[in-house]
Amino acid sequence: MIDMEYKEGIAKVTLNRPEKLNALNLQMRLKLIETLRSINSSRDIRVVVITGKGRGFCAGADITGEDISNIDLGKDLEGTFYPILREIKFSKKIYISYVNGVAAGAGFSLALACDLRFSSKNAKFVTAFHRISLVPDTALALMLLRLIGVKGNQLILLGGELSAEEAEQLGLFKILEKEEEAISMAMKISRGPFLAYSKSKELINKALFQDLEEFLKLESSIQREMGKSHDFREGINAFAEKREPKFIGE
């Protein structure tokens, strides 16, 4: 589910569940946490490249493999999604995402959390939470709005998607012809003045995300509330039954 390769100071982490567009079920989330913690504790690894296997980067949380209608969504975020986010944002390593296909929901967050962000021309970025009457989570609202300001309002408020070209125009991702270019960038960083890069990351996080923990507390509280709503249960049932949901705003 999570593949890791290491070479010359670079770890390549591949989300490997292509039949589900690398959607993050519980087992995969726990394995990703374990992998990232191992990387972050290593003295030999300086740069981490995260990508996905197959035609997707990550379709977000897997809502088909678990009965999420009976899960405390706030607790679920706090237990697995937030630890993944923290391992990337608060690491002294430099993280690079290469989005090779769809990045939806928490998959979009995972890609955005990285320090440098690249994509293929076929990538697509989706905020799909509203389809099951949830709010964007895993700090997607905070990261997106801090990075592009009010241009991200509609994506957060109503949901939607960005093409690779649109994401590049907004400065969120840079399109590369192939994944090897992201690896080359990682190699350049690893061989460069890495301490300066790492400390620069610390300054960026202080400038943009110093209130991340406070935001996560509010986000998990709201998502917990949303998980108890009628509309969430209706959204999940409609998704399973492959029909349009009938929301009532409660």
CA-CA-CA-CA dihedral for 105, 227, 215, 200, to nearest 10? -30
Q: For strands 124-127 and 160-163, give the pairing.
A: antiparallel
Count CA atoms within 13 Å of residue 148 on its CB side. Answer: 19
Residue 150 DSSP code: G
Determine the pLDDT at residue 51. 98
Note the helical H segments in 164-193.
164-169, 179-191
3 state DSSP class of 21: coil
Distance CA 127, CA 197 (A): 31
Q: Tell the residue number behind the tokens 């309002």, with chain if given.
A: 153
| Contact call for residues 232 and 69 (beta carbons, < 8 A) | yes
| Domains of the chain, each with CATH number or no CATH | 2-177 (3.90.226.10)
| Contact call for residues 80 and 33 (beta carbons, < 8 A) | yes
Determine the pLDDT at residue 71. 85
| Contact call for residues 53 and 18 (beta carbons, < 8 A) | yes
Over the chain (250 residues), what is each successive 10-residue block's mean pLDDT? Answer: 96 97 96 98 97 97 76 95 98 98 98 98 96 97 97 96 98 97 98 98 97 98 96 92 95
Determine the pLDDT at residue 128. 87
